Amino acid sequence: MEGAWEIAFVLFQVWLSIVVGLIVLPAMFGVSLGFTDIYIKVLVKTLEWATLRIQRGQKEQPTLPSQSANGIIEKDDGSMEEEIGELRRSHPKNLAGGDFTMCDAFYFCKKGIENIVEDQVTQRFTSEELASWNLLTRTNNNFRYISVRLTIIWGLGVFIRYCILLPLRITLAVIGLSWLVIGTTLVGLLPSSNAKNWLSDLVHITCYRICARGLSATIRYHNKENRPKKGGICVANHTSPIDIVILANDGCYAMVGQVHGGLMGVIQRSMVRSCPHVWFERSEMKDRHAVAKRLKDHIADKTKLPILIFPEGTCINNTSVMMFKKGSFEIGGTIYPVAIKYDPQFGDAFWNSAKNNMVSYLLRMMTSWAIVCNMWYLPPMTRQDGEDAVQFANRVKSAIAHQGGLVDLSWDGGLKREKVKESFKEEQQKMYSSMIVVNMNESLN
């Protein structure tokens, strides 16, 4: 019995030293040994083969539903005036534009039914549908049995992901986070100095690099010359907590967020020992002025790291950018926008907090193929004269959406959980009323 334990222990040590030697240490120095590149290349080839195989299978069996990621319907995007105007033109009554006709209701009816079949908002809170299956069970929408080979590859994929990659990634994550806690606590013992800041940055970056390897993350950075500078505010679209790992792999930021309990709380407390982050108590978050003041004070101090904020306020599924809350755009300072776009073929990064809690989300991440994403640093922006915070926020949002190839929406990400404001309906009613009453006075004369 003892012999077996000894062997297991030795194996474990060998395993650990391989991991540390081949993955952790190169990661910390920012060196890539090329394993991930090879892995991604093999993956791409396999997925291409799988797509072709599925397409061939669909041609042979025409009852199989084809997977098209196009919408279900084709919409016209006429305005209310255009559409109702057209409706009225064919009406026998000789109207000079204005007054009511019973066919006006057709416009609202058609719009309503279109939105029931397909709307712009609710689809942003669930994972994006893929154009072709990527051999993960979770993205399997309409998969029917196609061929033995495909099923074998899928089975092999399951084995590789759950039995090889998952333990490896969990090990890396544990190493990374422990290093963060230990490292920042040690650095926190030093007196304030340039050396302390340098060491703190080192600890943070190395930890995030280890975590990125723990997700097989392949990140392509664009326009590094626009990287956020101290005293600025970095603003990005939000898809998942992993955004932080992606961003912090290439720079150091001061995080902003709520104080948590448990493991998160431990990490937060130790991080703040080595360099200033902005953690708010739950009660403080309600007071907008207090929040704004703390952020203003932070960016006024030019020795502190740039703040990282996600103005959408919630995770969106990376097909669109939703309304930016104006709070971050009112404090002044320079905004450094960043656009992050994940490639859904390798793994769906979106955190659907209604469906998965944090732990099951992380497990899903660690059993995906990989996380592949592009990150663009956009040129810094400041509020212009005559522009209010909302307009500024929209300008930044458009720039990010444009760069990342995402749909630019004005809808509030908070609609994930809350009801839409009545005022929007009132706007619609007002617009319609102006179409009826326009010539009201004339016809009454």
Q: Which residues bind another protein (CB under 8 A)?
A: 63, 65-66, 68, 70-75, 86-87, 90-93, 99-122, 126-127, 129, 137-138, 140-143, 411, 415, 419-420, 424-430, 432-434, 436-437, 440, 444
- Of 68 and 178, which has the nearer Cβ to another protein? 68
Three-state SS for 4-52 is HHHHHHHHHHHHHHHHHHHHHHHHHCCCCCCHHHHHHHHHHHHHHHHHH
Query: What tokens appear for 165 in the block?
Result: 């990659």
- Of 93 and 289, which has the nearer Cβ to another protein? 93
Which residues, in sequence order, are CB contacts of 185 under 8 Å at separation 6+? 270, 273, 274
- Of 243 and 348, which has the nearer Cβ to another protein? 348
- Of 63 and 79, which has the nearer Cβ to another protein? 63
- Of 147 and 443, which has the nearer Cβ to another protein? 443
**Among candidate residues 66, 77, 76, the one with its CA nearest the CA of residue 129:** 66
- Taking the complex as a whole, the smallest distance from the CB of residue 371 to another protein amounts, in Å, to 21
Task: Give the whole-angstrom CA distance, residue 318 versus residue 38.
Answer: 26
- Of 128 and 250, which has the nearer Cβ to another protein? 128
- Taking the complex as a whole, the smallest distance from the CB of residue 169 to another protein amounts, in Å, to 24
In this structure, the strands spanning 335-342 and 371-377 are antiparallel
Q: Residue 233 in contact with residue 336, Cβ under 8 Å?
A: yes
- Of 16 and 105, which has the nearer Cβ to another protein? 105
Task: Give the whole-angstrom CA distance, residue 227 versus residue 70.
Answer: 36
Which residues, in sequence order, are CB contacts of 5 under 8 Å at separation 6+? none
- Taking the complex as a whole, the smallest distance from the CB of residue 11 to another protein amounts, in Å, to 38
- Taking the complex as a whole, the smallest distance from the CB of residue 437 to another protein amounts, in Å, to 6
Which residues, in sequence order, are CB contacts of 381 under 8 Å at separation 6+? 334, 335, 337, 392, 395, 396, 399
- Of 36 and 67, which has the nearer Cβ to another protein? 67
- Of 149 and 425, which has the nearer Cβ to another protein? 425
Q: Residue 378 in contact with residue 339, Cβ under 8 Å?
A: yes
Which residues, in sequence order, are CB contacts of 370 under 8 Å at separation 6+? 36, 39, 40, 43, 215, 216, 217, 218, 346, 347
Question: Please, what sign has the CA dihedral across residues 188, 193, 195, 201?
Answer: positive
In this structure, the strands spanning 335-342 and 407-408 are unpaired
* Rg (alpha carbons) of the chain, rounded to whole number: 27
> Where on the phi/psi map is residue 119: left (φ > 0), alpha (ψ -120 to 50), or beta?
beta
- Taking the complex as a whole, the smallest distance from the CB of residue 348 to another protein amounts, in Å, to 12
Task: Give the whole-angstrom CA distance, residue 32 versus residue 213.
Answer: 10
φ/ψ (deg, to 5) at 59: -65, -35
